[in-house]
A and B are shown apart, each in its own frame.
Chain A
Amino acid sequence: MELTDRYIHAVTRQLPAAQRDDVARELRATIEDTLSEGDVDESAVLQQLGDPSILAQRYGAKQTYLIGPDYFPEYRTVLKVLLPAVVALFAILSVIDGWSAERDTGDVLLDVLKTSLVAAGQVVFWTTLGFAIAERTGSQALAATSWSPQDLPAAEPARQIGKFDALAGAAMALFVPIAVIVVPRRLDRLHPDGIQFFNPDLSTWWLFGLIGIFVLFALHQIWQYTVGRWTTPLMTSLIVLNGIWLTYLLALLLGQDVVNPAWLAHEVPDMTEQVKRWIIGSVLATAVIITVIEVAEAVRGNQRLDSAER
């Protein structure tokens, strides 16, 4: 009965612990009944019962897939968009980085390859993780909400948000944190006295915050790309995101010195306090203006769609 033991184990190990013994006992009795009845051998009986994984699934074993059919199309779209964009971006950046440091072409190419692979791995990992979580938490919520014809997207303005605009926006959003990391490092390396550009007292959390916010901006752009038109969830989340961004910027710029005071003293010794305040003010004003334009576009797009539907 060694095969039977193995078969039963293969089935029950995939089931919730509470069911295991009961299912095992019943399966064993069935197999023994079948064997005692006719002149069939053990392996033929097990063959008849079929693949243990399939039997376990019929018994209601946990899903054995990472991303199911509900999410797979979106998963594929996101990867298709994100993978080439991010890999290209990192490849270009590492080329720029290598050349400006005057390194050998071979080294630079090796670096490009390494960076691209790492970037691709990161994109695939995080996208897969995100969708796997959605698969495990979201699918029931999706199935539970009842559908009504009102949910149908408007047929007329099929695409309000240009594909290119959305993708360029996503690339831009990813470019900002990378530029903030790479450019000052370049400056630091070129600086004759080795004075850092950013204030060394600045907590790294500010950097993580920046990366987080801009990754969210990039994801939002991809969402805009997939939906293609302004909807209320898209609009509200954009407003919330911009609110977070402005709060972050305000707290960052007004709370502490972002640029190293020593660097400023070295590079622009005659900068007055007033000029500094003026620069901070104009950075903030620019951010606010961009936000207002973006939000206005989203709100208008959403309203237009509403009135078109009525």
Chain B
Amino acid sequence: MKELLDNQLLEMRRGTLVLAVLRCLHEPMYGYALLRHMEERQVPVDASTLYPLLRRLESQGWLQSDWDTSGSRPRKYYRLSQSGERALQQLTTEWKQLSASMTRLLEEND
């Protein structure tokens, strides 16, 4: 029962992860900073999930990246591309609608 619930929760989080990442990358960030940034906002994500996801979003064109080698460690900064911006807008609208209808549904008195 506990396991089933955990799996379901994981599924729910997974569905919102792309939107959260896109939103955070409104300003350019490297992986580790993004990890911390999301943790602080109570949207924690595993490093082993986030890094491959960043790469997937980059290869499908929603993100762009640049290496910054000026600091003590080389850092790969990710930022939204133009199509990423558009995706973020659309997904945000969809999410708000979904959230509103889910709230209505859950608070329905019957």
Contact = CB atoms under 8 A, between A and B. Distances in A.
Contacts, number: 49
| Number of chain A interface residues as a range | 10 to 19
Interface of A: 19, 22-23, 25-27, 29-30, 32-34, 48-50, 54-55, 58-60
B14 interface: no
A22 B75 CA distance: 11
A25 B32 contact: no
Secondary structure call for the B interface: helix
Given A29-B32, A49-B48, A60 B73 contact: no
Interface residues of B, number: 18
Which of B30, B48, B56, B73 has most chain A Cβ within 10 Å?
Answer: B48
A55 B48 contact: yes
Contact of A30 (B51, B55, B67): B51
Contacts of B75: 29
A49 B75 CA distance: 18
B76 A25 contact: yes
B56 to A, nearest CB: 7
B103 interface: no
B76 A26 contact: yes
A25 B52 contact: no
Given A25-B74, A25-B76, A59-B55, A30 B48 contact: no
